[in-house]
Amino acid sequence: MPHVIVKLYAGRTAQKAKLAEEITKVVMTAVNVDEDAVSVAVEDINPQDWTEKVYKPDILGNRKNIYKEPGYSRR
């Protein structure tokens, strides 16, 4: 615990390891856990599938669990 799933447009292969590393650091700090407690998965999503496979089910259909919506800045 915790396990973080990141869904992003397919590609960016070279950036995935760096993304997982940075997410791990932030999660360790935010919830006060050791590195060995954190896991990060990165799922490639084709851009043409984004609305049906991510936006509708994971964002619109899961609003009660969304802490940061797309297009909304907390600044």
- Phi-psi map region of 7: left, alpha, beta (phi>0 left; psi -120 to 50 alpha): beta
Is 2 annotated as catalytic?
yes
Q: Considering 2, 47, 57, 70, which one is annotated as catalytic?
A: 2
Give the residue carrying structure tokens 């050791």. 34
Pick the range with the lowest mean pLDDT from 1-5, 11-15, 38-42, 57-61. 11-15
> What single string gives the DSSP state of each residue in 14-74?
HHHHHHHHHHHHHHHHHHT--GGG-EEEEEEE-GGGHIIIIIIIIIGGGGGG-SS-TT---
pLDDT in tens, 6-51: 999 998 888 999 999 999 999 999 999 999 999 999 999 999 999 9
Structural domains in the chain, sorted by start: 3-65 (3.30.429.10)
Spatial separation of the C-alpha atoms in residues 35 and 48, rounded to whole Å: 35
Predicted confidence at residue 74, as pLDDT, reads 59
